[in-house]
A and B are shown apart, each in its own frame.
Chain A
């Protein structure tokens, strides 16, 4: 028996499938409840439909990038485990790093995990899981108090300062990401600018053809990422 025996085990596929099915059921039920709430709050079916269409179109390209991560990771960890890990919590960067560190600790190369003793693959699975569990546990404990606290600051007794305060987390996020993207390298900056230009153009076009507004993000993503190939080859 090798790591590949565990990695391609039907049991692992069943466990992954069952977990993903549970997430889909929860997501669909949450969707139903949120939609009902939106209708109660006076939003129209058309608005909700526009949100759904816009989200689907905006989510496809990033999901394809995640799929690429799955293909890369599957070379060293098989199909089932990367499928599970990239569907829940993880990201390519984290998963690769966690697998690499565990393999290093065992004195095995990443490419040798599947052909090694099965305890190597078992170690990788356990360490990758333990390493990522802190975020979900923290959310389960503090999520409600933290997010409702910010909502209260906005709508509650704190008035003008509350309104300013509730938007500061969003501004802090941009204050970090934008300088990093501008000063890291030229292709990154030019991709950012291209995406901004496409957003402006689609925004102008959508004044004449309102349905385009739903696809602004998808268009910016596709053109921005396509342009990055050109920028990366030029600079």
Chain B
């Protein structure tokens, strides 16, 4: 009986479609990105030897496999069914996730709901296309643009993209959101993990380059803190007054 309930919850037609075709797209995409360098090598007859590639491959895989595991573990629950297109087009933290969160805020929908999932996918599609178009224009106007973009002020400003994005998102995170319920005292859940990361940052260990791994490490800490605070009755779910008043206004 429980299993049947679960089926109904997970398999609404849109979610089913998004995951089925998302997975298919992702598998074809993996084959294609591997095929591109192989085709080039085959056509030009310039196959590098195994020993030529080995040192670079070991160095990059030893760093990147843990990072990939961390990113998939940390960001997939936030992205929902838009995870496929997001991971295919990259630029997660500096573009796709902030845009998805912003879109859910504009549409006044909650994360991890069918509505939130559909809005996140719309946002991911749009932000992916915007980047592809801008890069295409950049390729077409390569010569004049390279001079402008390498201007020292633009180079400096581009190094501060993440804090500018997080400044905007942080206030949204502090609010009660748009759902029918909200989590009272949810910011208390963050105290212990944020303190741990603060110490690691002051010690010079934590940096944005390792954020994916750090998030993966902090997820169990955050879950444990939330569980304790919930059991103690400090963190609880309450009806959202702003959603209730919006519903009343709509009824009128």
With an 8 A cutoff between CB atoms, is A234 at the interface? no
Q: 8 Å CB contacts to A: which residues of B142-171?
A: 142, 145-146, 149-150, 153-171
A56 contacts B130, CB within 8 Å? yes
Choice from A48, A67, A146, A157 contacting B122 with Cβ under 8 Å: A48
Q: 8 Å CB contacts to B: which residues of A188-235?
A: 188-189, 191-200, 203, 213-214, 216-217, 220-221, 224-226, 228-229, 232
B186 contacts A167, CB within 8 Å? yes
Q: Which DSSP category, helix, strand, loop or mixed, fits chain B's interface?
A: helix
With an 8 A cutoff between CB atoms, is A104 at the interface? yes
Determine the chain A residues whose CB is within 8 A of the CB of B21 once the complex forms. Answer: 30
B157 contacts A226, CB within 8 Å? yes
Given contacts A15-B39, A89-B87, contact A34 B121 (CB under 8 A): yes
B167 contacts A194, CB within 8 Å? yes
Closest residue of B by beta carbon distance from A188: B163
The complex places the Cα of A19 from the Cα of B53 at a distance, in Å, of: 25
Q: How many residues of B contact A (CB 8 A)?
A: 158
Q: Which DSSP category, helix, strand, loop or mixed, fits chain A's interface?
A: helix
The complex places the Cα of A144 from the Cα of B24 at a distance, in Å, of: 12
A188 contacts B168, CB within 8 Å? no
Determine the chain B residues whose CB is within 8 A of the CB of A170 once the complex forms. Answer: 78, 101, 111, 173
Determine the chain B residues whose CB is within 8 A of the CB of A86 once the complex forms. Answer: 90, 135
The complex places the Cα of A70 from the Cα of B21 at a distance, in Å, of: 30
A34 contacts B163, CB within 8 Å? no
Beta-carbon contacts of A59-87 to B below 8 Å, as 1s and 0s?
11111111110111010000100011011
Choice from B33, B65, B125, B160 contacting A228 with Cβ under 8 Å: B160
Beta-carbon contacts of B38-49 to A below 8 Å, as 1s and 0s?
111101101111
Residue in B37, B88, B115, B117 with the greatest tally of chain A CB atoms within 10 Å: B37
Residue in B69, B93, B130 with the greatest tally of chain A CB atoms within 10 Å: B130
A136 contacts B30, CB within 8 Å? yes
Determine the chain A residues whose CB is within 8 A of the CB of B98 once the complex forms. Answer: 58, 62, 217
Determine the chain B residues whose CB is within 8 A of the CB of A106 once the complex forms. Answer: 52, 55-56
Closest Cβ of chain B to A46, distance in Å, is 10
B198 contacts A182, CB within 8 Å? yes
The complex places the Cα of A102 from the Cα of B15 at a distance, in Å, of: 40
B129 contacts A27, CB within 8 Å? yes
B118 contacts A41, CB within 8 Å? yes
Closest residue of A by beta carbon distance from B104: A51
The complex places the Cα of A34 from the Cα of B54 at a distance, in Å, of: 43
B190 contacts A171, CB within 8 Å? yes
